[in-house]
A and B are shown apart, each in its own frame.
Chain A
Amino acid sequence: MNRLDALFKKKQKNILSLFFTAGYPDLQSTAEIIRAAEEAGADMIEAGMPFSDPVADGKTIQHSSEEALKNGINMNLYFEQVREGGKSIQQPVLFMGYFNQVLQYGPEKFCHACNDAGIDGFIIPDLPPDIFIREYRDIFHGAGLRSVFLITPDTTEERIHQLDDLATGFLYMVSSRSITGSRESFDASQEEYFKRVSSMNLKNPLIAGFGISNHATFATACQYAAGAIAGSGYIKALEKSRDIRVTTREFVTSLLSPEHI
């Protein structure tokens, strides 16, 4: 069974997904991060393949991407490392990256490599739904990969329903009009938006992302969504880390429990 399907079957609330940049802080960190995330209690893992021109990302992920590329990460290494880290865990692992990398790798070959590495689904923010439907849906869905689409506070209700029909994994509920990056709290209009979308009776689970960096933001998002994704906050923690396992455990604990600083 696809591990993403299995996860949503088992758990409908407080799902924590961790995003990290493959090849950062060190070229060989990927497998260790995946195992540490599992051990720390993350429910889902998004392995980011860095891109030279990440237009949807803020400073933290721009920096980790740049460093990872300097470290020498590439697509083949990425798949090798994800296979190595993800082979014995129950948590779903997702590919996250920009479309040009997939296009150059070759969409069919990309799907095979994902299958081979045990990747359960993909998030490709700059592959828009109309082009996905026209050219790539059959290839990706045919390979059993679960698709994830982004929605934002400005996505119309009609379009949210279209994206919901199209997605086979979950809907990535982008918390604000912004690029990726940490925030301390959500304001009333963001909560209003979470609430509005959560009451739409969508077939896919909602997972919130962008600005999830502490217990307050995680808990607020989880009131309305099935779970939330932490990325930039986690990468910042890794940046200063001396021990990936310890850092990951501390970071996950800080999101899940209110007492933790």
Chain B
Amino acid sequence: MNKVTGEVDNNGFYGRFGGAYIPEMMYPNLKELENRYREITDSREFREEFTGLLRDYVGRPSPLYRAGRLSDYYNTNIFLKREDLNHTGAHKINNTVGQIILARHLGKKRIIAETGAGQHGVATATVCALTGTECVVYMGALDVARQQPNVERMKMLGATVVPVHSGNKTLKDATNEALRDWISNPCDTHYIIGSIVGPHPYPDIVTRFQSVISEEIKAQLEQHNGNPLPDAVIACVGGGSNAAGAFFHYLQHPEVELIAVEAAGHGVDSGESAATIALGRPGVLHGCLSVVMQDADGQITEPYSVSAGLDYPGIGPLFAHLHQKGRVNFQHATDREAMDAAFLLTQLEGIIPALESAHALAFLEKRKFTPDQTVVINLSGRGDKDMEAYLKYIKEHNGGKSHQ
């Protein structure tokens, strides 16, 4: 049997998925990136600067914490990979640090990005402030309204936030607008995509920068358990960047079960969901062939999730491939299940997770792991940005469950 790897082939594909389905206007930019990113990111100079910044600026390695009370509650061994403790509060900054250095090597003076919840926008604005680079962030007008604190953070960091009024005014539309900006400003601008989506080589670039997560988990688990391999790694998946990071170095170890949890919104069959693997089929969105949510005519349908970071109608082509190969087990959790999981973690461990990460935690309710098993959950971000949603949930559900 062929081993499944996370490597992209020479044409920019993962199996049948991926590629660069882009108009000619974007070709010179992407070609330049494709020709140069490996050589740049593999260079010693780049590696030293990247790992140095991840250590001293981001705060890596992020801890791998054995969650004692959560483990007791589920009667198994649960480790949390604490990406929530990174500077800016999520895994997103691993990628933006890498890409800002890459942009400098490419001689680009202006940075653009898309953002949904604002985490990637903040992470991009942060590295632009750090390097004194002009930064424009496209954000759906609806998201601008519902994620005001992150909009203010980006502005304080010096970024220009452009509200996008087309389509449903959310992440998908922000991505369209960022791509349009890039078409119109090909010479001086680098586009920092926030997830493992978009045309080749972006999925590979972002996967590589995020793969530091599983590289660290391996070493840390070895120290804890004397064995780098857990029984399972669980991560939430929207576009898929935190999951790709948490799974990457385990792809070649078939004995490690990899579980990706999609956002089911109000339920996979409710018509209000963002579970792309459950509901989508192969199609082209934002420059790559992957699995996308669409109607019979190929018009992209609008996703829904309480978590803005998972509210995307596509998924990275790497995951479309890993799903097809059966290497990753795809599951989903509803808004409600994610909320309950967030309150449980908060009450048992004193950690308020991001709503995105709460979807991964919710899987613990669905599968009983045994006392001798080890499970790693990628806690991709912290919940500060989600306080409004959590407060609303408390009001509506009488304070949430108590697990004292």
Which residues of chain A have a CB within 8 Å of any CB of chain B?
51-58, 62, 66, 69, 74-75, 98-105, 125-128, 130-131, 149-152, 154-156, 159, 174, 177-179
Q: Please tell me if B233 contacts chain A, counting CB pairs below 8 Å.
A: no
Q: Please tell me if B25 contacts chain A, counting CB pairs below 8 Å.
A: yes
Query: Which residue on chain B has the smallest CB distance to residue A56?
Result: B23
What's the nearest-Cβ distance from chain B to residue A105, in Å? 7
Contact partners of A127 in chain B: CB under 8 A: 21
Across the interface, do B25 and A150 meet the contact criterion of CB distance under 8 Å? yes
B170-228 residues at the A interface, CB under 8 angstroms: 172, 176, 179-180, 183-187
Across the interface, do B27 and A128 meet the contact criterion of CB distance under 8 Å? yes
Q: Please tell me if B163 contacts chain A, counting CB pairs below 8 Å.
A: no
What's the nearest-Cβ distance from chain B to residue A120, in Å? 21
Query: Which residue on chain A has the smallest CB distance to residue B282?
Result: A103
Across the interface, do A101 and B27 meet the contact criterion of CB distance under 8 Å? no
Contact partners of A128 in chain B: CB under 8 A: 19-22, 24, 27
Q: Which of A56, A100, A131 contacts B285 (CB 8 A)?
A: A100
Stretch at the interface among B40-48, B260-268, B295-303: B295-303
Which residues of chain B have a CB within 8 Å of any CB of chain A?
11, 19-25, 27-28, 166-167, 172, 176, 179-180, 183-187, 282-287, 292, 294, 296-300
What's the nearest-Cβ distance from chain A to residue B15, in Å? 14
* A52 with B300, Cβ < 8 A, contacts A62-B166, A126-B21, A177-B186 known: yes
* A75 with B297, Cβ < 8 A, contacts A56-B25, A126-B21, A174-B24 known: yes
Across the interface, do B284 and A100 meet the contact criterion of CB distance under 8 Å? yes
A99 to B292 CA separation, bound complex (whole angstroms): 14
Across the interface, do B286 and A53 meet the contact criterion of CB distance under 8 Å? yes
* A154 with B28, Cβ < 8 A, contacts A100-B283, A179-B183 known: yes
Contact partners of B172 in chain A: CB under 8 A: 53
Contact partners of A149 in chain B: CB under 8 A: 24
Contact partners of B297 in chain A: CB under 8 A: 74-75, 101, 104-105
Across the interface, do B183 and A53 meet the contact criterion of CB distance under 8 Å? no
What's the nearest-Cβ distance from chain B to residue A196, in Å? 16
A75 to B21 CA separation, bound complex (whole angstroms): 21
Across the interface, do B183 and A130 meet the contact criterion of CB distance under 8 Å? no
What's the nearest-Cβ distance from chain A to residue B141, in Å? 14
A56 to B287 CA separation, bound complex (whole angstroms): 11
A152 to B172 CA separation, bound complex (whole angstroms): 26
Not counting A53-B300, A125-B23, A150-B25, a sample of 11 additional A-B residue pairs whose C-beta atoms are within 8 angstroms of each other reads: A51-B299, A55-B179, A99-B21, A125-B24, A126-B23, A130-B11, A154-B25, A155-B27, A177-B183, A177-B184, A179-B183
Query: Which residue on chain B has the smallest CB distance to residue A58?
Result: B180
A62 to B185 CA separation, bound complex (whole angstroms): 19
Across the interface, do B176 and A53 meet the contact criterion of CB distance under 8 Å? yes
What's the nearest-Cβ distance from chain B to residue A48, in Å? 14
Across the interface, do A126 and B284 meet the contact criterion of CB distance under 8 Å? yes
Query: Which A-B residue pairs are the 9 nearest by beta carbons?
Result: A104-B298, A150-B24, A125-B23, A100-B284, A100-B298, A154-B28, A52-B299, A101-B298, A56-B23
* 22 cross-chain CB contacts under 8 A: A53-B167, A53-B286, A53-B300, A55-B180, A56-B180, A62-B166, A69-B299, A100-B300, A104-B298, A125-B23, A126-B21, A126-B284, A128-B19, A151-B24, A154-B25, A154-B186, A155-B27, A177-B25, A177-B184, A177-B186, A178-B184, A179-B25
Contact partners of A100 in chain B: CB under 8 A: 283-285, 292, 294, 298, 300
What's the nearest-Cβ distance from chain A to residue B23, in Å? 4
Across the interface, do B183 and A178 meet the contact criterion of CB distance under 8 Å? yes
A126 to B285 CA separation, bound complex (whole angstroms): 10
A177 to B189 CA separation, bound complex (whole angstroms): 13
Query: Which residue on chain B has the smallest CB distance to residue A50?
Result: B299
Contact partners of A53 in chain B: CB under 8 A: 167, 172, 176, 285-286, 300
A102 to B20 CA separation, bound complex (whole angstroms): 16
- Max chain B C-beta neighbours (<10 A), residue from A52, A101, A174, A177: A52
Contact partners of A154 in chain B: CB under 8 A: 25, 27-28, 186
Q: Which of A52, A103, A174 contacts B25 (CB 8 A)?
A: A174
* A105 with B11, Cβ < 8 A, contacts A62-B166, A177-B25 known: no
Across the interface, do A155 and B284 meet the contact criterion of CB distance under 8 Å? no
A115 to B249 CA separation, bound complex (whole angstroms): 50
Contact partners of A105 in chain B: CB under 8 A: 297-298
What's the nearest-Cβ distance from chain A to residue B276, in Å? 15
A58 to B28 CA separation, bound complex (whole angstroms): 20
Contact partners of A156 in chain B: CB under 8 A: 28
What's the nearest-Cβ distance from chain B to residue A30, in Å? 16
Across the interface, do B283 and A103 meet the contact criterion of CB distance under 8 Å? yes
* A55 with B286, Cβ < 8 A, contacts A69-B299, A126-B23, A155-B27 known: yes
A69 to B298 CA separation, bound complex (whole angstroms): 12
What's the nearest-Cβ distance from chain B to residue A125, in Å? 4
What's the nearest-Cβ distance from chain A to residue B388, in Å? 29
A180 to B183 CA separation, bound complex (whole angstroms): 10
Contact partners of B184 in chain A: CB under 8 A: 177-179
A52 to B27 CA separation, bound complex (whole angstroms): 22
A74 to B299 CA separation, bound complex (whole angstroms): 9
Across the interface, do B180 and A131 meet the contact criterion of CB distance under 8 Å? no
What's the nearest-Cβ distance from chain B to residue A81, in Å? 15
A175 to B19 CA separation, bound complex (whole angstroms): 26
Across the interface, do B283 and A155 meet the contact criterion of CB distance under 8 Å? no
